[in-house]
Amino acid sequence: QLQLQESGPGLVKPSETLSLTCTVSGGSISSSNYYWGWIRQQSPGKGLEWIGSIYYTGDTYYNPSLKSRVTISVDTSKNQFSLKLTSVTAADTAVYYCATPDASGNWFDPWGQGTLVTVSS
Amino acid sequence: DIQMTQSPSSLSASVGDRVTITCRASQSISRFLHWYQQKPGKAPKLLIYSASSLRTGVPSRFSGSGSGTDFTLTISSLQPEDFATYFCQQSYSIPATFGQGTNLEIK
């Protein structure tokens, strides 16, 4: 059974780059037919925003609203995938979740526990 | 982007009640609609996928229906552990989008 765990700095300065890693256990990140994704939630219990996903082939899919600032990549040697979001502002303060879309990239299951990232000087 | 609108935004109910939450898409999404439950401080959990398929391990009191633009999540008999926030999500087109959530509270 797949388990995901986010890690990374909890505080990032405005204009800098937010970098998070998701460690996958219970399965290989290079297994075929797997997608890996990132979702954020800017207020507790409030709206969820899909950031992007990466397929096991390396193909990436990004939310157009963030596409110019986002990179998602996979590190098979560490069984991890990562998120980089450049030029952050206070609006990027959120809980960031990594999650696994199903084989067709539709629903997200399971999710990591989430990590709060605050953008502040 | 496809807009997902849930109603109501909040709902008060009692243990044992039957509850229905609605999700409407701004355009037809066939059955590419999924439901999640989120409790405070926790990640969302998948309940229903493809409009009406119950995720393994989810109690049968949860059910989903609908297609096109209108969808419902029904809890047949509320249990204390069901008080949470519920979200719908469409995967018909990129970007995937979520409803704003329905906060289900104890009356």
For residue B55, list chain A residues with Cβ-Cβ distance below 8 A: 109
Residues of B in contact with A64 (CB under 8 A): 1, 94-95
Specify the pLDDT at position A30.
86
| Residue corresponding to tokens 């229905």 | B20
Q: What is the mean pLDDT of residues B14-22?
A: 97
Percent residues over pLDDT 90 in chain A: 82
The token pair at A26 is 């219970």
pLDDT value for A44: 76
CB contact under 8 A, A106 and B91: yes
Tokens of B89: 């999500």
User: For residue B66, how far is the Cα from the chain centroid?
Assistant: 12
For chain B, give the percent of residues with pLDDT over 90: 98
Over residues A57-70, the pLDDT tens digits come to 889 999 999 999 99
B contact test, residue of A102, A108, A115 with most B CBs within 10 A: A108
A-B contacts (CB, under 8 Å):
62
Give percent of chain A above pLDDT 70. 99
Whole-number Å distance between alpha carbons of A52 and B93: 13
Q: Which of A61, A102, A111 sits opposite B44 (nearest CB)?
A: A111
Nearest to A88 by CA among A26, A32, A36, A19: A19
DSSP state string for chain A? --EEEEES-SEE-TTS-EEEEEEEESS-TT-TT-EEEEEEESSTTS-EEEEEEEETTS-EEE-TTTGGGEEEEEETTTTEEEEEE-S--GGG-EEEEEEEE-TTS-SEEEE---EEEEE--
What letter does residue B91 receive in the DSSP assignment? -
Calculate how close chain B gets to A111, using CA atoms only, in Å: 6
Instruction: Please judge whether A50 and B103 are an interchain contact, meaning their C-beta atoms are less than 8 angstroms apart.
Output: no
